[in-house]
Homo-oligomer: A and B are copies of this chain.
């Protein structure tokens, strides 16, 4: 009866992982129930223990898989040689924002990662080493190119953290951000593309590589 299903996968293990991703991301480990996950996956409650052992192991596996898929679908250095550093910066920021806030890809993957960042469990160390740290180092290297020897590593890291913070708040505290801003502005200025422009310009101006935000001259 493989014509009966609409969009569900054949393999029950896959279906459970996918449903678990959504439920864990939405409600967190504690509040998510095995029964809800199994209902969403269309399998019996016993299936979780049959395939994964227990709820904790299912969670670990869900995080591991979500994290590996994220790593796989994010190329680390997509630029042809000779690309100007400021173009790389703009691209980097745009990509991260698109991944964090955009509507491509299932939302629950990054939401699950966010939960780990906000309140790390055992699964977090791998996530940082495989996914976050490489991106952080890429940003540092771009900033190093931009500063051209005028900034020490510690200062580069400070600037990098500033840039990440500016993106992070929209993902982590989006609801409250929405309460602080006019609704129309939220949709026009605080979405991936204009935000990427702003954060990039803000950084370049602070580094003396673009005109200050207060002037209307073209960028240096």
Contact = CB atoms under 8 A, between A and B. Distances in A.
Interface of A: 28, 30-31, 117-118, 120, 124-125, 128, 132-133, 136, 147-148, 150-151, 154-155, 157-159, 161-162, 164-170, 172-173, 175-177, 179-181, 185, 189-190, 195, 198-199, 202-203, 205-209, 211-215
Which of A28, A158, A207 has the most CB atoms of chain B within a 10 A radius of its CB? A158
Given A161-B169, A169-B165, A213 B208 contact: yes
Nearest to A157: B181
29 contacts: A124-B176, A128-B179, A128-B180, A133-B180, A136-B180, A147-B214, A150-B215, A151-B213, A154-B189, A157-B180, A157-B185, A157-B189, A158-B190, A158-B198, A161-B169, A161-B190, A162-B198, A162-B199, A165-B165, A165-B170, A168-B168, A172-B172, A202-B206, A205-B206, A205-B208, A206-B206, A206-B213, A208-B213, A208-B214
